[in-house]
Amino acid sequence: MKIKIVKRSEQNRFVLVIAPFIAILFSFVIVGIFLYANGLNPFSVFKDMFVESLGSFYGFSETLVKTTPLLLCGLGVALAFRMELWNIGAEGQLYIGAFGASLVALYYPINNHFLMLLAMFLSAGLFSGIWGMIPGFLKAKWNVNEIIVTLLMNYIAILWVDYLVYGPWKDPKGFNFPLTKQFPDVARLGYYFDTRLHTGFFIALVLAFLFYILIEKTVWGYEIRVIGNNPNAAKYAGINYEKNVIIVMFISGLLSGIAGFSEVAGVTYRLQHGISPGYGYTAIIVAWLARRSALGVLLVSFIMGVLFVGNDALQINYQLPIAFINAFQGLILFFVISSEFFVNYRISFGEK
């Protein structure tokens, strides 16, 4: 029997929808084998994951807290993906947004609660937007590879924040921990239902809705989609490619920076070392799984939020290392990317 790989003339909608879910299922199977090999019952472990993240109101609220930065960073990455720009720098842009918000909260006292939060929001968005615009400018003017630039800029942003919290911004009363002093009450987002669910989640929902309107219902969104589908055709139609690359990367960085703002103003109330457990990197998985749509990003962010909370529980209940969590997410991305093969190709069996 001869096995042939044939490129699909058009994508099968059923395969397109079902492939990511099968990919996630495969990653669970592999992780289950690993758990079983280490003497753990995989069914009990997975059950505990979902019970901890969805089995109580508090667990559900924690899932929404984790969903917030994933949703914001996922929107940023998805926007760039729309133009076939590979923004791998959401993690660094989140850190720069957290830095921008902290700068205002710590060194520019504003007594009005609303004005303080607005200033922190704008500062986070401006700093992270410019941070994201740099690789966009290099790409537009000299076709510099944005993957390399955004990836390397992550290290700069993370090390810049580390320099601040280990050095000039370090809280002298912080028992030598790498963190700044706490923000005043006016610089903190409100929280709800006696949980840690804060206003940042609702800001993220609004931005997801605006993302949908911007991309699906405006002329500019149409231009972005055209450039993403065929840059040469877009140029032929008179669409300014260079300008749009810079603007898209600015907004992409801005959205990730708002995630940094929501983390420092809604969760930690200070800037500290390791403020993100990898939300920006996970956002790449989110945007890919969501196929760059706003609703998809919202749905996948929630699913990844469930995994984040569930994995935290596994660290506590089963003493599993953080490396296991990272490997789990890596497996998901690996299988999801691999599933693209079956979206674009089909396997044909025939006689020799």
Which of 283, 285, 265, 286 has the alpha carbon at shortest distance from 275? Answer: 265
Q: Whole-angstrom Cα distance, residue 190 to residue 187? A: 10
pLDDT, residue 1, reads 64
Q: Whole-angstrom Cα distance, residue 192 to residue 146? A: 39
pLDDT, residue 155, reads 94
Scored b (16 or more CB within 10 A) or e, 286-306 reads bbbbbebbbebbbebbbbbbb
pLDDT, residue 94, reads 95
pLDDT, residue 350, reads 63
All residues at 6 or more sequence positions from 59 whose CB lies less than 8 Å from its CB, including other chains: 51, 52, 53, 309
Conformational region of residue 269, where left means phi above 0, alpha means psi within -120 to 50, and beta covers everything else = left
Strand pairing partners for 349? Answer: 3
Strand pairing partners for 346? Answer: 6
Average pLDDT by stretches of 10, the chain with 352 residues? 70 72 82 82 83 84 91 92 87 94 91 92 94 91 89 94 92 86 91 87 93 88 82 78 90 93 92 88 85 85 85 77 74 76 71 56
Q: Do the Cβ atoms of 92 and 155 come closer than 8 Å?
A: yes
Where are any strands of DSSP class E within the chain?
2-7, 345-350
Which pair of structure tokens corresponds to residue 343? 């979206």
Strand pairing partners for 181? Answer: none
Side chain identity, residue 36: Y
For 8, 17, 177, 206, 236, the CA distances from 203, given in Å and listed in that order, are 40, 28, 31, 5, 38
Q: Do the Cβ atoms of 76 and 254 come closer than 8 Å?
A: yes
pLDDT, residue 352, reads 52
Which of 261, 262, 255, 245 has the alpha carbon at shortest distance from 283? Answer: 255
pLDDT, residue 246, reads 92
For 37, 48, 157, 282, the CA distances from 32, given in Å and listed in that order, are 9, 13, 36, 21
All residues at 6 or more sequence positions from 202 whose CB lies less than 8 Å from its CB, including other chains: none
